[in-house]
Structure formats: structure tokens, C-alpha cells
């Protein structure tokens, strides 16, 4: 996976917004709720995102993927070695992260995002 492609996937998801938080982290959100976080530079240390509870242990058992610092209790993982996943798998995981967070939004907010 290449970080640039992961960022492009996040930007293309419905209702996705991005901003800088904590000084230097690029945060992707939907309905003002985070679904992915990465460093804001070419040498970023990885990308973190939400996964389904049942996939958390499976993914963190793989080399190059760790429990995301500060967010592991919420079942977030961090890809620290960009060779750990293919571009296609990364796109699938990021799209699923967006879907998980989108599903937790109010129905009204989901409709508003869907209409845009």
C-alpha cells in the first residue's frame, strides 16, 4: 500500500472531511467522527483506522499491523509497514472503517450525507 493511495481513498468516500488535529495529524472524518488518521507528511509512520471487532486480533497478528496507540480499546489498528497490505486490501479496510463510523451516525445525519 502506498500512503498517497490510502489518502485518495479516504478523500473519495461519501461525506468524508479532512483536517489537521494534534498539530500534525491528518484526520479523516464522516459526520465529524474520525474513521482514519495519518501523519501529515510523506514520511508518515503509518495510517490508523477503525476495524470490525472480530477482525481486530486477526489484523494485529499480522506483521506490519499493530493496535493503534490510544485507540486500540475502540478496535483501531495502525499499519506501520506499508508493505503489509496491498492497495486493494487497504482500500477495502478504509472503506469498511468509513462504513462502521457512518453506521453509528444518526439516521438524519446519514440522510444528509447521502444527499450530498
Query: What pLDDT is stored for residue 43 in this prediction?
Result: 56
Judge whether 105 lies within some domain: yes
Main-chain phi, psi angles of 52, to 5 degrees: -65, 145
Query: What pLDDT is stored for residue 113 in this prediction?
Result: 86
pLDDT bin (cut points 50, 70, 90) of residue 2 is confident
Within its chain, how far is the Cα of 77 from the centroid? Answer: 9
| CATH number for the domain harbouring residue 82 | 3.90.1150.30
Judge whether 59 lies within some domain: yes
- CA-nearest of 44, 50, 45, 46 to 29 is 50
As a whole number, mean pLDDT of residues 13-19 equals 95
Query: What pLDDT is stored for residue 4 in this prediction?
Result: 86
Name the domain count of the chain. Answer: 1
**Residues 47 and 75: beta-carbon distance below 8 Å:** no
Residues spanned by the domain of 45: 3-110
Give residue-wise pLDDT tens across range 22-70: 888 899 999 999 999 998 655 568 899 999 999 999 999 999 999 999 9
Judge whether 116 lies within some domain: no
Report percent pLDDT > 70 for the chain.
94
Judge whether 102 lies within some domain: yes
Contacts of 58 (CB under 8 A, 6+ apart): none
Give residue-wise pLDDT tens across range 72-101: 999 999 999 989 999 899 999 999 999 999
Judge whether 115 lies within some domain: no
pLDDT bin (cut points 50, 70, 90) of residue 116 is low
On average, the pLDDT of the chain sits at 91
Judge whether 63 lies within some domain: yes
Judge whether 96 lies within some domain: yes
Amino acid at each position: 500500500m502506498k500512503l498517497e493511495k490510502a489518502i485518495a481513498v479516504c478523500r473519495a468516500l461519501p461525506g468524508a472531511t479532512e483536517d489537521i488535529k494534534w498539530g500534525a495529524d491528518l484526520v479523516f472524518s464522516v459526520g465529524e467522527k474520525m474513521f482514519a488518521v495519518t501523519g501529515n507528511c510523506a514520511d508518515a509512520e503509518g495510517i490508523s483506522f477503525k476495524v470490525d471487532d472480530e477482525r481486530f486480533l486477526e489484523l494485529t497478528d499480522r506483521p506490519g499491523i499493530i493496535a493503534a496507540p490510544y485507540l486500540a480499546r475502540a478496535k483501531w489498528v495502525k499499519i506501520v509497514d506499508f508493505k503489509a497490505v496491498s492497495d486493494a486490501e487497504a482500500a477495502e479496510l478504509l472503506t469498511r472503517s468509513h462504513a462502521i463510523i457512518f453506521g453509528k451516525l444518526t439516521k438524519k445525519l446519514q440522510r444528509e450525507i447521502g444527499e450530498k
